[in-house]
Chains A and B, each alone.
Chain A
Amino acid sequence: MSEEIKMLFFCGLLAFMLGLYLLISHRNLIRIILGVEILSKGITLILLAAGQARGAIPFIQSLVVTFIIVETVLAAVMLGLIVLVYRTHGSLDIKLLSKLKG
């Protein structure tokens, strides 16, 4: 495996972990979605590294395009929900969402 691919894997995994850290360490809903976005950037890099290592860039490209569409729809729906939560509760702190418990 070439140095370039190793570096792609390294950066992709680091981005994935940073996203995971943001996801579990913050209570603000917008920051949580930012964490999901960072996580997805890491996955894109890992996919690219795997495609380059296997010599299957066209195949990986189609996966990345699909992944970007999934990511966009997820972000749009989640951000819409965040606006709704803000209008209902007046805050973006997930602690306040404990009211949703049955």
Chain B
Amino acid sequence: MILWISLALFMTFLMMIVLFRDLLYSAIALALASVTLSVVLFLFKANIAAVFELSVCAGLITVLFVSTISLTKNSDQKTESRVPAAFLPFVLVLLLALDLGLTVWLAREMLPAGQSGSAATFKEVFWTIRATDIWGQVSLVLVGVFGILAIFRVAPGRKNHE
């Protein structure tokens, strides 16, 4: 029962992100969607992924979005949509039909084989089997840090455009 409620809330928050015109409300709806997604992850016993989702996606990414929105609050947001609002219900019906078709196809064709997973724990998988991933993640975090440093670096003797 909690799963169905969480999934319904998750989809509602996602729709709110799409429908809200105010970017700040959309960012808050994204944080709430992350919270409900972490509840779903907890329900399927993916505890560590759920903690990551809750702390990083609902916390850090929301802070980044709110900071960016406040730094760019004077930007124009009126003529942003390429699709007229009247077409949105048709687009949603089309997406739902496509989604239903894909889910039925996946259920019939893709996963009939049943259980094939190993009995390894998360610790074994993360630190032993997929140990190379950790190096990739570390280098990715460093790329992010140096990327941000390069973006906001001001050359000596040169003023910012602002």
Residues of B within 8 A of A (CB): 3-4, 7, 10-11, 14-15, 17-18, 23, 26-27, 30, 33-34, 37, 40-41, 44-46, 48-49, 52-53, 56-57, 60-61, 64-65, 67-69, 71-72, 74-77, 79-83, 91, 95-96, 98-100, 102-103, 106-107, 111-113, 115-118, 120-122, 124-126, 129-130, 133, 136-137, 140-141, 143-144, 147-148, 151-152, 160-162
Contact = CB atoms under 8 A, between A and B. Distances in A.
A52 B46 CA distance: 10
Contacts of A98: none
B80 A26 contact: yes
30 contacts: A5-B111, A15-B11, A21-B95, A22-B17, A26-B81, A26-B82, A27-B79, A27-B82, A30-B65, A30-B72, A33-B65, A38-B17, A45-B37, A54-B113, A56-B116, A56-B117, A58-B120, A61-B122, A64-B41, A64-B49, A66-B133, A68-B52, A69-B140, A73-B144, A76-B64, A77-B147, A80-B151, A82-B72, A90-B75, A93-B79
Nearest to A42: B14
B11 A30 contact: no
Nearest to B137: A69
Given A64-B46, A87-B160, A73 B143 contact: yes
Contact of B151 (A4, A7, A38, A77): A77
Interface string A49-77: 01111111111111011101111110111
A33 B44 CA distance: 28
Interface of A: 1, 4-11, 13-15, 17-18, 21-22, 24-28, 30-31, 33-34, 37-38, 41, 44-45, 48, 50-62, 64-66, 68-73, 75-77, 79-84, 86-88, 90-93
